[in-house]
Chains A and B, each alone.
Chain A
């Protein structure tokens, strides 16, 4: 038996109106929790964009001359291989094309005035090195051993600033993430309670429905839809907040030259929409799960 659309719409709308205060509470809780989660994700993406080169334990980068000969390049790679695994745990070669991709899509994403000036052939290829020993002195010895090699342009080390930045944002991200998850749980419980109240308010109707042979789906769908709508509306508000926060951040960066160094934190529009979609799915899931639990426990099907 197909459910009648007009019936479902009418019943769901009536439930939403009847439970206005509780519904608003659940919607806002979901909105706040999802915007926190969204901000945590934005922060993670921003930091990843800014520090991409230093991920996975890379401690120093050997930049080569753009016009390095193959023999020189092989010689440096040989030096790295020779020291494995005692001093070098692993390394990665980044070609000029990869360097260009990174430059355009991560370091200076969305800043066409800079990226338009650059072509792959002027960027240096590089080796990104993860040392076995993380002791600062030993890393320094290893890094400087490459400095005199022919074809090497420059060796740069992960600075204390980058490490601290990663640690600090990691910490903030965790706090925001935990707060977001806890609030999301609260939102789920609130939706569960809202639906339970709605079902309790209509227990006579439900009793009659069961008596005359309404299927469980017929009884449940309006309630589940109510919870899901609350979740989606909450997620919509949360997504809006995240979008607004990102726009605000971008504008703030654009207005201030001193903060230009932070521009690499900017997150692409596509990534923001990705986060928004994830939040909407989460909101809908929380709403549907909360109301399904309530319905299942209360209806005793």
Chain B
């Protein structure tokens, strides 16, 4: 599903974000990216949906070499990849259901699809009762659920999560992880960058550890350190 071949990314000619990183992630896997700040986790994720381009090496997503993807094809790549973030990136002036519907409207899905898919996904994340609330009326955990609903409503093949529990307390984080685990069980490949030792050690999934831009550990059913 995802394959990196000797990928190197250098920022502004000096900051080495990734160095000769190679990694192969199968369909349906759940992978934790761990490592200190600045070790290249976010760069790893940003390379996968072509927000950044590598300086060296090749990246394959869903069997395609995304380095050879033309600029105007990038949106179609991103329709196969859901993304969630530490800061949720919800639109403050749209309600919960409008935020989720926006993701479908943006890719030209017909109205009747939007009408059926949005309530269904909100039920999956447990927010059907708050679909008419604005984001600031929700707790952090609920906001993250909305952002997961938005990322997943189009049923992408891959879900990228950049420290999704970074702003949440441990109890709320457990709820978010249960949700991600459920999504993973539907066959969606999940790659999650995290600093949360507790989560990684409880879930016991594949762990890829980065340090100074290099992959220093790749362990099935691993722990944080």
Query: At the interface, yes or no: B60 with Cβ under 8 Å from chain A?
Result: no
Q: A205 — which chain B residues lie within 8 A by C-beta?
A: 91
Q: Interface on chain A toward B: helix, strand, loop, or mixed SS?
A: helix
Bound-complex Cα distance A216 to B106 (A): 10
B106 touches A214 (CB 8 A): yes
Q: Is A136 an interface residue (CB 8 A)?
A: no
Is the beta-carbon distance between B89 and A208 smaller than 8 angstroms? yes
Complex interface residues of chain B between 36 and 94 (CB less than 8 A to chain A): 49, 71-72, 75-79, 83, 89, 91-92
Map CB proximity to B onto A59-84 as digits: 1 under 8 Å, 0 otherwise.
Answer: 00000000000000000000000000
Question: From residue B91, how far is it (CB to closest CB) to chain A in Å?
Answer: 6
In the complex, A4 has a CB within 8 A of chain B = yes
Given A1-B108, A2-B108, A7-B105, check contact A215 B91 (CB 8 Å).
no
Q: Does B150 contact A (CB under 8 A)?
A: yes
Q: Of A3, A208, A211, A213, which is within 8 A of B76 by CB? A: A213
Q: Mostly helix, strand, loop or mixed at chain B's interface?
A: helix
Q: How far is the CA of A24 from the CA of B150 in the complex (A)?
A: 37
A117 within 8 A of B: no
Give bound CA distance, A209 to B150, whole Å. 11
Nearest residue in B to A3 (C-beta to C-beta)?
B108
State which residues 82-122 of B face A: CB under 8 Å. Answer: 83, 89, 91-92, 102-103, 105-108
Q: How far is the CB of B58 from chain A (nearest CB, A)?
A: 22
Size of the A side of the interface (Cβ < 8 Å), in residues, is 19
- Of A7, A204, A207, A213, the residue contacting B77 (CB under 8 A) is A213
Is the CB–CB distance between A211 and B83 below 8 Å?
Answer: yes
Indicate if the CB atoms of A213 and B78 lie closer than 8 Å. Answer: yes
Picked from B49, B89, B107, the residue with its CB within 8 Å of the CB of A214 is B107
Question: Is B108 in contact with A213, judged by CB distance below 8 angstroms?
Answer: no
Chain B residue, CB-CB nearest to A217? B72
Say yes or no for A261: interface residue by CB 8 A criterion: no
Contact with B along A192-224 (1 / 0, CB 8 A): 000000000000110111111111101000000
Taking a contact as CB atoms under 8 Å apart, the answer to whether B78 and A210 are in contact is yes
Judge if A301 is at the interface, Cβ distance under 8 Å: yes
In the complex the two chains form, is B89's CB within 8 Å of A211's CB? Answer: yes
A212's nearest neighbour on chain B, judged by CB, is B103
B173 at the interface (CB under 8 A from A): no
Contact A204 B75 (CB under 8 A): no
- Beta-carbon contact of A215 and B89 below 8 Å: no
Query: Which of A4, A208, A210, A214 has a CB less than 8 Å from the CB of B91?
Result: A208
Residues of A contacting B77 in the complex (Cβ-Cβ under 8 angstroms): 213
The residue that A212 contacts in the complex, of B72, B92, B150, with Cβ under 8 A, is B150
Which residues of A sit under 8 angstroms from B143, Cβ to Cβ? none
Counting CB contacts under 8 A, is B154 at the interface? yes
Q: Closest A residue to B80 by CB, please name it.
A: A213
For the complex, give the distance between the alpha carbons of A205 and B106 in Å: 10
- List 16 contacting pairs A-B, 8 Å CB cutoff, sorted by A: A3-B108, A4-B108, A7-B105, A204-B89, A208-B89, A208-B103, A209-B106, A210-B75, A211-B49, A212-B79, A212-B102, A212-B150, A213-B76, A213-B77, A213-B154, A214-B75
* Chain B contact residues, CB within 8 Å of chain A: 49, 71-72, 75-79, 83, 89, 91-92, 102-103, 105-108, 150-151, 154
Mark A residues whose CB is within 8 Å of B: 1-4, 7, 204-205, 207-216, 218, 301
